[in-house]
Amino acid sequence: MLKITIVSGTKRLGRKTPKVGAYLEKLFKEHPEVQEVNLLDVATYDFPVMEERRGRLDNPPAGLDEFGEALDRADAIVFISPEYNGSYAGAFKNTIDYFRKEFERKPIGVVTVSDGRLGGVNASHDLQKLILALGGYAMPKKLMVSNVGRVFDDNGEVVDEHFEKSAPAFAAELLWLATAIQHHKELV
């Protein structure tokens, strides 16, 4: 049984990443091999600017241990970020910088959102480099959500045919990779 943690990474007003995160959470919960799904929203936690990693803090900010434990328990992780100024969101990076060992040897899927046609392609490349620096396994298949303002209706329902097909394929690929890695860990 797999445990999935989704990190929705922006604090900006009018943000769309929570809708994408909620949809992916629902998708993962529909899979019988998934035992637990945690959706962590960086705006909810609102950590201060990182001065030291979680493991080295005597007095961590409120919620930091809870956030870290959800990452630690996960068999696979999803990073969701909009593209801001050609890269991922600063609030996302600040949050991730509190952690390191929580990502090691875990498959991590990249989801980027953009109001434009390219779906956050620059942010997706930067996120994959970040994952490698953290010691995680960057899943090659990415989910880049173009024109995100047109993907969901006012009730959060998907109205975009491309996203309706690509999101389940992304989720299935991450679960396959997580299962393969979990199986290998059991063998060694």
Which CATH number characterizes residue 123's domain? 3.40.50.360
- At 46-93, the pLDDT tens digits run 899 999 999 999 999 999 999 999 999 999 999 999 999 999 999 999
Which residues contact residue 97 at a Cβ distance below 8 angstroms, ignoring those fewer than 6 apart?
Answer: 50, 53
Domains held by the chain: number: 1
> pLDDT digits over 122-172, tens only?
999 999 999 999 999 999 999 999 999 999 998 889 999 999 999 999 999
Say what the pLDDT of residue 13 is: 87
pLDDT at 185: 80
Range of the domain at 19: 2-187
Three-state DSSP at 9 gives: coil
Helix (H) or strand (E) holding 140: none
Q: Which two tokens stand for residue 156?
A: 């959060």
pTM of the prediction?
A: 0.95
Q: What is the pLDDT of residue 155?
A: 87
For 20, residues 6+ apart whose C-beta sits below 8 A from its C-beta are 8, 80, 111, 113, 145, 148, 151
Distance (Å, whole) CA 179 – CA 177: 5
pLDDT digit string (tens) for 96-118? 999 999 999 999 999 999 999 98
